[in-house]
Chain A
Amino acid sequence: MHAQTLYDKLWTSHVVRQEADGTALLYIDRHLVHEVTSPQAFEGLKLAGRKPWRSRSIVATADHNTPTDHWERGIVDPISRQQVETLDANIREADVLAYFPFKDARQGIVHVIGPENGATLPGMTVVCGDSHTSTHGAFACLAHGIGTSEVEHVLATQCLLQKRSKTMLVQVDGVLGPGVTAKDVALAIIGKIGTAGGTGYAIEFGGEAIRGLSMEGRMTLCNMAIEGGARAGMVAVDDNTIDYLRDRPFSPSGAAWDQAVAYWRTLHTDEGAQFDAVVVLDAAQILPQVTWGTSPEMVTTIGGAVPDPAEEADPVRREGMERALKYMGLAPRTPMAEIPVDKVFIGSCTNSRIEDLREAASIVRGRQKADNVKLVLVVPGSGLVKRQAEAEGLDQVFLAAGFEWREPGCSMCLAMNADRLEPGERCASTSNRNFEGRQGAGGRTHLVSPAMAAAAAIAGRFVDVRQFVQ
């Protein structure tokens, strides 16, 4: 058999049938469901008189609308409450694998709870009505976001109509320097390929620096594949993958574990397999990143400065830069390390796992939030992450520094709940999108790693985190 990429293997093993034009019916193993993109799908299913094909493939939670404080008050916003109650009703009618409703001990961001419960396993196809489903590719899954019509299609048929993607290898050679994290790698890659660089591709991340990342770091990286335009990102199985999955609630056990591991070990790109595109980065050249604009590709290093649109030759790009700087309230050539911040957000499906919180706490320990910083929100990705962090005393580190320690959820990544920026406020955020209005109308978002966000909270401005770690 000819040498295959990891994507080829995942694709081929899920094709139920394929038409002459290449359109395939792809079988879906895991369907993650949350409250925002599912109500219309369940309604459509009912209106058509259809039943879910295999409801045991579903893992559901409420995360986007849920408040991160005062849980005793419930969900105060009546429209948000109705959406969460609609999810409740839809899920309780179905026999799902797992449901972690609002206030459940294991509730959390859908892309955090899947892996931590072992509901995301290597070799699976994983879909969710959420673009950050690419996160699960860290486990050598074919995982991507879908729209609500496709949520309904998967509910009704357990399949998706798909065409094969092109394949891209993003290879990061060498070893990351101190203070440089998976988030910096993700932003550096997007800075290199652009936000449309991965359009039409499934990206496999490989190379020494990727093999050196923990599963949390790989999830951060695959999470951001979509910000590079690729619906799916993935990493091959290795010992890290298998060690992470051992003894998780929905991981196989006993003889099935051994059988599964034997199969999982085959989930890597074969020697000599060809990719449609290859991008190579040198880990040693990747420095702590900060975005300056309103697209994740508008990124530079902490030692860099806001670029000058006058130096951009392409008129559409120049106009985009000018618009971004106006929105962000920044002058060309301002050093990134001179930009003060009003709020800091540590959380989101990109960076809310235990390792992210440890990384932030290591910077904060024994230090205080700067006076000019109005609010530092630390929002763990799930109830399990929260309890783990508390067992390690991380909550006390944050609270002692003047940070807020909240309940899990998507929170200020997209500001569907009460956590948001006011117009003009500037935020150092560990989330994934710096789009206009993303964290609140008129809010100004700068994407950074958890360590960089923590350092900005302490310094009151962006600062090179390596000054803290060395």
Chain B
Amino acid sequence: MRKFDVLDGLVAPLDRANVDTDAIIPKQFLKSIKRSGFGPNLFDEWRYLDVGEPGQPVAGRPRNAEFVLNQPRFQGAQILLTRDNFGCGSSREHAPWALEDYGFRALIGPSFADIFFNNCFKNGLLPVQLPAAEVEVLFQQCIANEGYRLTIDLAAQTVTRPDGVALGFEVDPFRKECLLNGWDDIGLTLRHADEIRAFEDRRKSEQPWLFR
């Protein structure tokens, strides 16, 4: 997994609540058996005016000029500002894959849906949770200032605004460690293989009907 330590990135504001993973990456693109290549179809139904199909080149497709990611000033954005309950619905990891493939490295919002939140950490994508009032200020500043950038320092657990104000955020210590080091957590778990085996043997003797 790609490491995440410090990110200084352009910010794009997605000003709607309850953005679901069907919207992040529509179902027709889930037929792929690969982990990559989802970026061009991120937010497909909002970015394009036609209905996209897997394998179809996006170059010639009509774009929705009003959608935030189609506006010239947000090209190259690496941080997505979101509202409440971002990533709700389907557990599809294709959602963080699409965000990451598009170029996002971090998300900032007041709340994220559980499964999506968890999936982000497995893909080097940092979801930063801040109080709604602080997120509101970020939205206002981002919309008012072209080229608005934020600096996210994972080790220090801060988001620093252009005006120098640093906002602290919470992050699970284990997930932080994995992201900072780019660790593969399967490798970490397998260090405890003996304990897993012992647990399994005990379970087998106590509830044999679970093992057939």
- The interface-forming segment of A123-131, A280-288, A359-367 is A123-131
Which residue of chain B has its CB nearest to the CB of A30? B210
Interface: A195 (CB within 8 A): yes
Which residue of chain A has its CB nearest to the CB of B34? A40
Residues of B within 8 A of A21 (CB): 172-174
0/1 interface trace, chain B 185-212, chain A, CB 8 Å (1 if under): 1100110110110011001000111111
Interface: A416 (CB within 8 A): yes
Given contact pairs A27-B199, A147-B91, A295-B18, A256 touches B54 in the complex (Cβ within 8 A): no
State which residues 190-225 of A face B: CB under 8 Å.
195-196, 199-200
Interface: A244 (CB within 8 A): no
Interface: B88 (CB within 8 A): yes
Q: Are A441 and B26 in contact (CB under 8 A)?
A: yes
Report how many residues on chain A are interfacial, defined by Cβ distance under 8 Å: 81
Q: Are B118 and A147 in contact (CB under 8 A)?
A: yes
Partner among A29, A83, A146, A320 whose Cβ is within 8 Å of the Cβ of B31: A83
- A and B contact pairs by CB, cutoff 8 A, 10 listed: A27-B200, A43-B33, A144-B115, A156-B186, A156-B189, A157-B190, A414-B22, A414-B27, A416-B31, A435-B22
Residues of A within 8 A of B20 (CB): 295, 433, 435
Partner among A152, A161, A252, A441 whose Cβ is within 8 Å of the Cβ of B174: A161
Interface: B105 (CB within 8 A): no
Interface: B35 (CB within 8 A): yes
Given contacts A130-B90, A230-B114, 15 further A-B contacts (CB under 8 A): A16-B192, A21-B172, A21-B173, A23-B174, A36-B31, A39-B33, A79-B54, A147-B93, A156-B190, A157-B189, A161-B185, A256-B209, A316-B17, A317-B17, A319-B15
Q: Are A438 and B22 in contact (CB under 8 A)?
A: yes
Residues of B at under 8 Å CB distance from A? 15-18, 20, 22-23, 26-28, 30-35, 45, 51, 54-55, 83-85, 88-93, 96, 111, 113-115, 118-119, 122-123, 172-174, 185-186, 189-190, 192-193, 195-196, 199-200, 203, 207-212
Q: Are B111 and A157 in contact (CB under 8 A)?
A: no
CB distance from A187 to the nearest CB of B (A): 16
A80 to B91, CA, bound (A): 19
Q: Are A199 and B113 in contact (CB under 8 A)?
A: yes
Residue among B23, B26, B123, B173 facing the most chain A CB atoms (10 A cut-off): B26
Residues of B within 8 A of A263 (CB): 207
Which residue of chain B has its CB nearest to the CB of A194? B85
CB distance from B76 to the nearest CB of A (A): 27
Residues of A within 8 A of B92 (CB): 36-37, 147
State which residues 405-425 of A face B: CB under 8 Å.
414-416, 423
A317 to B132, CA, bound (A): 14
State which residues 227-272 of A face B: CB under 8 Å.
227, 229-231, 250, 252, 256-257, 259-260, 263
Given contact pairs A121-B210, A199-B113, A152 touches B186 in the complex (Cβ within 8 A): yes
Given contact pairs A16-B192, A163-B172, A435-B89, A79 touches B113 in the complex (Cβ within 8 A): no
Q: Are A56 and B212 in contact (CB under 8 A)?
A: yes
Given contact pairs A82-B33, A156-B186, A437-B45, A147 touches B122 in the complex (Cβ within 8 A): yes
Which residue of chain B has its CB nearest to the CB of A317? B17
Q: Are A37 and B93 in contact (CB under 8 A)?
A: yes
0/1 interface trace, chain A 87-120, chain B, CB 8 Å (1 if under): 0000000000100000000000000000000000
Interface: A469 (CB within 8 A): no
Q: Are B195 and A16 in contact (CB under 8 A)?
A: yes
CB distance from B81 to the nearest CB of A (A): 13
Residues of B within 8 A of A130 (CB): 90-91
Residues of B within 8 A of A124 (CB): 210
Residues of A within 8 A of B88 (CB): 195-196, 229
Residues of B within 8 A of A317 (CB): 17
Which residue of chain A has its CB nearest to the CB of B193? A157
